[in-house]
Amino acid sequence: MDYIKDKLITKGRPQAEIVKRIQKEYGDSVIQETTLGQVFSGMKGVVSLLTCTSKLDPDEGIRFRGYSIPELREKLPKLSEDGEPLPEGLFYLMLLGELPNDEDVKFLSDSWAKRAQDIPQHAFDVINALPKSSHPMIQFNSAILAMSTESHFRRAYLAGMDKRDYWDPMYEGVMDLISRLPVIAAYIYRRVFHDEKYIDPDPSLDWAGNLAHMMGFESEEVKRLMRLYMVIHADHEGGNVSAHATHLVGSALSNPYYSFSAGMNGLAGPLHGMANQNVMHWLQRLMDELGTDAPTTEQVREYAKATLDSGRVIPGYGHAVLRKTDPRFAVQLDFANKYIPEAPLIKLVKKIYDVVPDILTETGKVKNPWPNVDAISGSLLSSYGITEYPVYTMLFGVSRALGVLTQLIWDRLYGLPIERPKSQNLEWFKDKVGFK
Ligand code: AMX
């Protein structure tokens, strides 16, 4: 019996009623004015989405259902005292809005391990049909789309389902999809980088620990890192590209596989999730050009300036919302300082942190000169032996599923309609502001 599902509908029904009532009774209330600048800068700050899983404060960073990352590290269940929180616990928190206990987390670990056993063979065939040289995100997303043949939602919709029940097959599909992503990701990793020497899942392991195991990493240290990585990348409010794309496509009642695939296409962009891979290329080029992994401050400054002068961005720095150092960067730095302070890549990350914010500030246009999550995540993975940069965004994607797919269930619980903002041509904007 899936008691989580029972809890979800018990909490979800009254919330859905509020959504319906607030729209009916307060639908004409003005909540915000929008400037042309906001529209032309990518709708920054325009409140237009209803999201319950997490909230991003520009100065403080992300909170998941009210809990900051340091609080989650303290309050979510772990496997051992010095371990990191289990992503299963974060999923439970985002889904139900309450902290889980050890049994809740164990229930999810077991349930996901079981659901992961039924991946259709054609998902692997689709991966195998692609050249190994194709980016892991191409292989990952192709497999996600291929698995949509299994969609509960699609079947139930075709059979004729009551609107109020949409959340139910959505929940089932989301649980299947989340459970299967680590298997798919590890398969791609072993296919591309380890001569197709695949490793079977171990159903006794937790979700993130199993991912490390299937990738070929058996040490508790790597499993601990994987749990941290999976927790901190899970969600970042509703308006970021991967979350918004998943939500938008889901609003057409596309099944969770189609919806999540849309999100992953967005995550693969260099300004979003692909930044973690690009940071590594940027660091690698720096080390290659200078012939050292310990450059001087002056050398880093020159290298960063040359990047800006050639019209490129410094990957891993800046953010559309954040205006301070990303707490997801800070927690990884804290982890690295605790366990691997002498790792050359970590020392390099710190040197760059000392130098780059000032250089970005000097440009006079970068709104946030501070590091984001991607400035360190690849260096951390690499220092632990996961040295293949192209898989970093895929690992980000496995984690991001937790948040955006939880929200997708809530979208259907809330009964949200198809999304359809208004667009206008340039003439309209010119007229509107009296452009001369
Ligand atoms: N290096 C150089 N220039 C930067 C910069 C950076 N790291 N961050 C911002 N800028 C530039 C912008 O390109 C823009 O230049 P323009 O006016 O000539 O077009 C100007 O500064 C103003 O941009 P902004 O308002 O500060 O940022 P934004 O909201 O438009 O973009 C982001 C945000 C993250 C795309 C941008 O900071 C960036 O490109 N960073 C590098 C890529 C990166 O790390 N992305 C990962 C973000 C986190 C994630 O999603 N995983």
Give the residues of the chain that fall short of pLDDT 70.
none
- Which residues, 6+ apart, have CB-to-CB distance to 36 below 8 Å? 429, 432, 433
Ligand 1: atom nearest CA of 308 is 2
pLDDT, position 295: 97
Q: Please say whether the beta carbons of 262 and 245 come within 8 A.
A: yes
Distance 243 CA to ligand 1 centre (A): 18
Is ipTM beyond 0.90?
yes
Ligand 1: distance of its center to the CA of 360 in Å?
10
Q: What pLDDT score was predicted for residue 1?
A: 72
245 Cβ inside 6 Å of ligand 1: no
Ligand 1 contact, 316 CB (< 6 A): yes
CB of 283 closer than 6 angstroms to any ligand 1 atom: no
Q: Which of 367, 374, 396, 400 to mutate to test the pocket of ligand 1 (most atoms within 8 A of CB)?
A: 367
CA 59 to CA 367: how far, in whole Å?
Answer: 12
pLDDT, residue 394, reads 98
Q: Which fold has domain 96-272+389-414?
A: Citrate Synthase; domain 1 (1.10.580)
Q: Is the pTM of this model over 0.90?
A: yes
Ligand 1 pocket test, pick from 62, 264, 317, 400 with the greatest ligand atom count within 8 Å of Cβ, gives: 317
Whether residue 272 has its Cβ less than 6 Å from ligand 1: yes
Q: State if residue 278 touches ligand 1 by the CB under 6 angstroms criterion.
A: no
Q: How would you class 130 by CB atoms within 10 Å of its CB: exposed for 0-12, middle for 13-18, buried for 19 or more?
A: middle
Using DSSP's 3-state secondary structure scheme, residue 371 falls into strand
pLDDT tens per residue across span 33-55: 999 999 999 999 999 999 999 99
Instruction: Supply the pLDDT for residue 179.
Output: 98
Fold of 275-383: Cytochrome p450-Terp; domain 2 (1.10.230)
- Using alpha carbons only, how large is the chain's radius of gyration in Å? 22
For residue 109, which of 179, 161, 170, 171 has the smallest C-alpha distance? 179
The tokens describing 240, both together, are 């970021």
Identify the CA nearest to 216 among candidates 229, 202, 232.
Answer: 202
Beta-carbon contacts of 397 under 8 Å, excluding residues fewer than 6 positions away, are: 137, 140, 181, 185, 242, 264, 267, 273
- Check if the beta carbon of residue 243 is closer than 8 Å to that of residue 213: no
Taking the C-alpha atoms of residue 414 and residue 409, their distance in angstroms, rounded to an integer, is 9
Active site residue 319: yes
What are the residue ranges spanned by the domains of the chain?
96-272+389-414, 275-383
Percentage helix, strand, coil for the chain under 3-state DSSP, each rounded to 5: 65, 5, 35
48 CA to centre of ligand 1 in angstroms: 22
How many other CB atoms are there within 10 angstroms of residue 375's CB atom? 29
Active site residue 233: no
Q: Is 272 a catalytic residue?
A: yes
Task: Measure 175 CA to ligand 1 centroid, in angstroms.
Answer: 34
Question: 227 near 83, Cβ under 8 Å?
Answer: yes
Nearest to 95, CA basis, from 3, 228, 203, 211: 3
The DSSP annotation for 62-128 comes to: EEETTEEHHHHHHHS--SSTTSPPPHHHHHHHHHHSS---HHHHHHHHHHHHHHGGG--HHHHHHHH
